[in-house]
Amino acid sequence: MIEFSARKKLLSNSGEFTLSLDISIPEGELVAFFGASGTGKTTSLRMIAGLTTPDCGYLQVNGNVWLDSAKKVQLPVNQRPVGFVFQNYALFPNMTVRENILFAQKEKKEKEVQTLLEVFGLEVLQHRKPSLLSGGQQQRVALARAIARKPQLLLLDEPLSALDMETRTSIQNELRMINREWGITTILVSHDISEIFRLCSRVYSFNGNTVEDKGAPANLFNSRLSGKVQFVGEVLECVQEDIVRILTLVVGNTPVKVVVPATEGDYAPGDKVLIASKAFNPIIRKL
Amino acid sequence: MFDILTGAPLQLTLKVSAISVLLQFLVGIPMGLFIAGRSSPLRRIVDILTTLPMIFPPMALGFFLLLLLGKNGLFGAFLLQVFGLRMIFTFWGILFAAFIVGLPFMVKSVQAARRQMDETIVEAAATLGKSPMTILLRVILPNIRGGVITGLLLAFGRSLGEVGISLILGGNIIGRTETLSLAIYNAVFDGDFQLAARLSILLSLLAIAVILLLNGTHYRSFFLNVIHQSRLHMKRFKKS
């Protein structure tokens, strides 16, 4: 079990605010930090890793106290057994794929490196430098490197945001496999609702100042609807036509057009919506 | 014709250049890394002090150093009493002049290279449990290598051509503190243009040799990497 509470003054587009969180994460679960940009998701991940110091806080991981501001306890970042996958991958440019993974190990174990290279499909690329790899390949190396550290906690900061749909699905499967096979508690920062539905057992919603434990992803995203068929989409365009509005949405990789009454809420490009069907009529709800 | 190759100026220049480049390497890297960190009053002071020899007129700087390092100067008296070291009109004065004029180029190059480096790779190494020393040796230094080599080249070039401070601190004593640059100055002053030309060619060749040597080590690893990658591709191609 991970007990984490912290207060930290942050600066967002709308001004200064104090992030206040008090959460418990069950051991071995894959959970998501979800919320708009600038609400403190990455900062929270960095505070857990020890890369950012909270104004005050408490962090206990599997019975070990990593941070206790009241008792002035703060375990240095290099003593916290975490695997951190950065948004920009942060691979060492001077090392090959194999050397990147070897570097993460406490004691050099070539056999384990070989296993990781095989699991992540990196065998052929093992002697290449990161600059010669594609985004998806770099992401796999970053994950393999984080696992090689044998972490108690895997922290993933929007790791799939820059990848295409196919690569994203493939790495999502690998993430699920890692969580299942190795049982490492994993925190995933993500904006992608489908990704959270597919991977996570629990969602923590960041709402500006506070963080709420919403339980299963379904509780957060579809609590207000009873439609049986439903998708999460994003508004690309909203055109007013007399008494109706024509919304162009993208669901997965497919653009669709949906007609909604003009009186039904305001939509802007970029809005996330839930599309459901009830008695053959499409229902759109802004998320 | 070849008498200049065995002369004292060449020997002194080679000795001073080699030691000053080594010292600039050892001092410049930690200083460059230090001032590349988060801004603080101490860092700003060190930054200004290291930049001074770069922009300060050499003659004026030489004069101030003469006052400071002379046997009655603040540091000169200390060095004489504690280490028995005389700086003025000796080899040590020449070495100090070569070191101090080249150091800012080394420090600034290291500072720029460190600031351009992606900070997340340092953070990534820390999350992998590595100590600050391991991060320095395995991550930071290999990734600022280009900046270090550029800094060494610039520092070497500046030290090699140093005249103003060497003239004041070294005294331009023939056979003792006369470097190649000062020997050219002396030859021109004596009207021996042929000797000045030969010494100038020798000094230029020396500079080119060091540039090639340093650039060679920089690009050698690149070419070795390309050869290694090509061999791997060939092996895979043969297998398939």
Mean pLDDT to the nearest integer, B222-235: 61
Of residues A19 and B223, more confidence is placed in: A19
Non-local CB neighbours of B203 within 8 Å, separated by 6+ positions: B13, B160, B161, B180, B181, B184
* Of A91, A92, A95, A147, the residue nearest A117 (C-alpha): A147
Q: Tally the domains of chain B.
A: 1
Q: Are B130 and B183 in contact (CB under 8 A)?
A: no
Q: The domain that contains B227 carries what CATH number?
A: 1.10.3720.10
Residue A101 pLDDT: 93
The share of chain B scoring above pLDDT 90, in percent, equals 34
Q: What DSSP character marks residue A210?
A: B
Q: Is B228 on the interface with A (CB under 8 A)?
A: yes
Per-chain mean pLDDT for chain A: 85
Q: Are A249 and A239 in contact (CB under 8 A)?
A: no
Q: Which two tokens stand for residue A13?
A: 């587009």
* B148-167 burial: b if 16+ Cβ within 10 Å, else e: bbbbbbbbbbbbbbbbbbbb
Domain enclosing residue B19, as ranges = 2-239
Q: Are A210 and A21 in contact (CB under 8 A)?
A: yes
pLDDT digits over B119-154, tens only?
Answer: 999 999 999 999 999 999 999 999 999 899 889 988
- Identify the band that residue B2 occupies on the pLDDT scale cut at 50, 70 and 90: low
Considering only the C-alpha atoms of chain A, give the largest distance between any 2 of them, rounded to a whole number of Å.
Answer: 69
Q: Are A144 and A112 in contact (CB under 8 A)?
A: no
Q: Between A and B, how many CB-CB pairs are < 8 A?
A: 63
Q: Is B138 on the interface with A (CB under 8 A)?
A: yes
Nearest beta carbon to residue B124 from set A50, A90, A127:
A90
End-to-end CA distance of chain B: 62
Q: Are B110 and B50 in contact (CB under 8 A)?
A: no
| Angle (deg, nearest 10), helices B8-35 and B145-160 | 140
Q: Is the pLDDT of residue B1 over 60?
A: no
Q: Is the pLDDT of residue B225 over 60?
A: no
Non-local CB neighbours of A197 within 8 Å, separated by 6+ positions: A217, A218, A221, A232
Q: Which two tokens stand for residue B80?
A: 């004489």
| DSSP string covering chain B | -GGGGSSHHHHHHHHHHHHHHHHHHHHHHHHHHHHTSS--HHHHHHHHHHHHHHHS-HHHHHHHHHHHHSTTSHHHHHHHHHH----TTSHHHHHHHHHHHHHHHHHHHHHHHHHHS-HHHHHHHHHTT--HHHIIIIIIHHHTHHHHHHHHHHHHHHHHT--HHHHHHHTT-TTTT--HHHHHHHHHHHT-HHHHHHHHHHHHHHHHHHHHHHHHHHHHHHHHHHHHHHHHHHHHHHH-
The Cα of B29 is separated from the nearest Cα of chain A by a number of Å equal to 19
- Identify the band that residue A103 occupies on the pLDDT scale cut at 50, 70 and 90: very high
Residue B31 pLDDT: 94
The Cα of A131 is separated from the nearest Cα of chain B by a number of Å equal to 13
Residue A156 pLDDT: 92
Question: For strand A202-206 and strand A281-286, is the pairing parallel, antiparallel, or unpaired?
Answer: unpaired
pLDDT digits over A140-150, tens only?
Answer: 899 889 988 88
> Which residues of B, range 113-132, sit inside 8 Å of A by Cβ?
118, 120-121, 123-131
- Identify the band that residue B228 occupies on the pLDDT scale cut at 50, 70 and 90: low
**CATH architecture entry for A2-221:** 3-Layer(aba) Sandwich (3.40)
Q: Where are the domains of chain A?
A: 2-221, 229-286
The share of chain A scoring above pLDDT 90, in percent, equals 23
- Identify the band that residue B240 occupies on the pLDDT scale cut at 50, 70 and 90: low
Count of Cβ atoms closer than 10 Å to residue B88 Cβ: 20
Q: Are A97 and A125 in contact (CB under 8 A)?
A: yes
Of A2-16, A210-224, B62-76, B135-149, which gets the smallest average pLDDT? Answer: A210-224
Q: Is the pLDDT of residue B239 over 70?
A: no
Residue B201 pLDDT: 92
- Identify the band that residue A100 occupies on the pLDDT scale cut at 50, 70 and 90: very high
Of residues B212 and A187, more confidence is placed in: A187
CATH entry, A229-286, from 3.30.420, 3.90.550, 3.10.50, 2.40.50: 2.40.50
pLDDT digits over B40-68, tens only?
Answer: 899 999 989 888 888 888 888 888 888 88
pLDDT digits over B167-188, tens only?
Answer: 888 888 888 888 888 899 989 9
Residue A175 pLDDT: 81
Three-point CA angle B115, A78, A143, nearest 5°: 80
Residue B20 pLDDT: 93
Tally: H helices and E strands in chain A:
7, 16
Task: Report the alpha-carbon distance of residue A243 to residue B126 in Å, rounded.
Answer: 59
Residue B76 pLDDT: 85
Q: Is the pLDDT of residue A213 over 90?
A: no
Residue position matching structure tokens 């997965």: A252
A185 CA to centre of own chain:
13
- Identify the band that residue B235 occupies on the pLDDT scale cut at 50, 70 and 90: low
- Identify the band that residue B33 occupies on the pLDDT scale cut at 50, 70 and 90: very high
Q: Is the pLDDT of residue A164 over 80?
A: no
Task: Report the alpha-carbon distance of residue B128 to residue B138 in Å, rounded.
Answer: 13
- Is B126 in Cβ contact with A78 (below 8 Å)? yes
- Identify the band that residue B222 occupies on the pLDDT scale cut at 50, 70 and 90: low
3-class DSSP assignment, residue A170:
helix
Of residues A178 and A188, more confidence is placed in: A188
Q: Are A7 and A18 in contact (CB under 8 A)?
A: yes
B146 CA to centre of own chain:
15
- Identify the band that residue A216 occupies on the pLDDT scale cut at 50, 70 and 90: confident
The ipTM of this complex is: 0.77
Residue B217 pLDDT: 63
Interface of A with B (CB under 8 A): 49-51, 77-84, 86, 88, 90-94, 103-104, 106, 124, 127-129, 132, 145, 149
B76 CA to centre of own chain:
23
Backbone angles phi, psi at A52, to 5 degrees: -130, 140
